Amino acid sequence: MQIVESYPMAVAMCVITMFCWGSWANTQKLASKEWRFQLFYWDYAIGVFLLSLLLAFTLGSTGSGGRGFLADLHQADSKWLLSAFVGGVIFNLSNILLVAAIDIAGMAVAFPVGVGLALVLGVITTYIAKPEGNAPMLTAGVAAVVVAVVLDALAYKKLAAAGKKTPVKGIVLSVVAGVLMGFFYSFVAQTMGKIDGATHLLEPGKLSPYTAIVLFSAGLLASNFIWNSIVMAKPFSGEPVTYRDYFTKGNVRLHLIGILGGMIWNVGMSFSIIASTKAGAALSYGLGQGATMIGALWGVFIWKEFKGAPTGTNKLLAAMFLFYLIGLAVLIASKS
């Protein structure tokens, strides 16, 4: 398998993760006028799984480091396979709630609140599972992100005061999604074996990053038949959606948009997991969740979700972005 041997390369991969995780939801926005988010999400889940297989049989099966994907899958302890699978199940529930929140409240609200909470909880839970990096600096970086989330909430409060409808349901969904999302990464991170720096051999019984991603993605896709089916029958807004709608109301373009969204997201997840072997799981997750800032940028400047906001809102948004940048910089320095 291909491995990451330098810290700068690991950080670069985490930055790519940040952009992928912060940008994939644009595909939902592109499809939302014609396509209910529950239907979009089926294609998203398929895209996630397809990308995991593509990486497993390419990067995960070539190179001199560790083990090839099939060999790694054959020798893996079942408890680690299950842990990665459960991580996918937990993430999928949280992400469906986040997608619903985006549908109701927009990216500029759902991302900072939901993903911001996920960053804070995720760094804590992942560090407990795999204690790597400078704990005080990780704490300081997370604290800066918390300030950014609060500033975003204040900015949205101003928007609501200007007469915009306050989607309380969207905010609640964002919070619940963020809490759940804060726990999934540790289930995946703890399954991966250590790579010997001299021999590049992988710890026996545990998983390579590529195998972990495949099991995670399988958990996501399999659980979609539970979580998404529930949301289709009992939607948070609008009329119920049926499986027949997926086959009769969609077209090739809409299906490809959803699959692309899943692939973009999983490029980010895969790079985060691969980079964590060098950067540490807590840093890799925390840096990748700078996606909050990227998602908010899309929401503010491209989708104009804060258009018509009163005076002072832009200053709060600028301060939010500043604190996110400070937090991310501290997180990067925590491992150097």
DSSP assigned state of 130: S
275/122: higher pLDDT: 275
Distance CA 199, CA 178 (A): 39
pLDDT exceeds 80 at position 240: yes
CA-based Rg of the chain, rounded to a whole angstrom?
A: 19
pLDDT exceeds 70 at position 164: no
Distance CA 30, CA 271 (A): 25
pLDDT exceeds 70 at position 107: no
- What does pTM read for this prediction? 0.86
**In 8-36, which positions are buried (b, 16+ CB within 10 angstroms) versus exposed (e)?**
eebbebbbbbbbbbbbbbbbbbbbeeebb
Residue 215 bridge partners (DSSP): none
pLDDT exceeds 60 at position 166: no
Distance CA 40, CA 254 (A): 8
Q: Which amino acid is at 249?
A: K
Residue 192 bridge partners (DSSP): 207
User: Residue ranges per domain, the chain?
Assistant: 7-333
Q: Which amino acid is at 136?
A: P
Distance CA 100, CA 38 (A): 8
pLDDT of amino acid 274:
94
pLDDT of amino acid 207:
96
Q: Which residues 6+ apart lie within 8 Å of 77 measured at CB?
A: 205, 206
* pLDDT level of residue 40 (50, 70, 90 thresholds): very high
Asked whether the beta carbons of 175 and 114 are under 8 A apart, the reply is yes
The answer to which of 34-43, 148-157, 267-276 has the lowest mean pLDDT is: 148-157
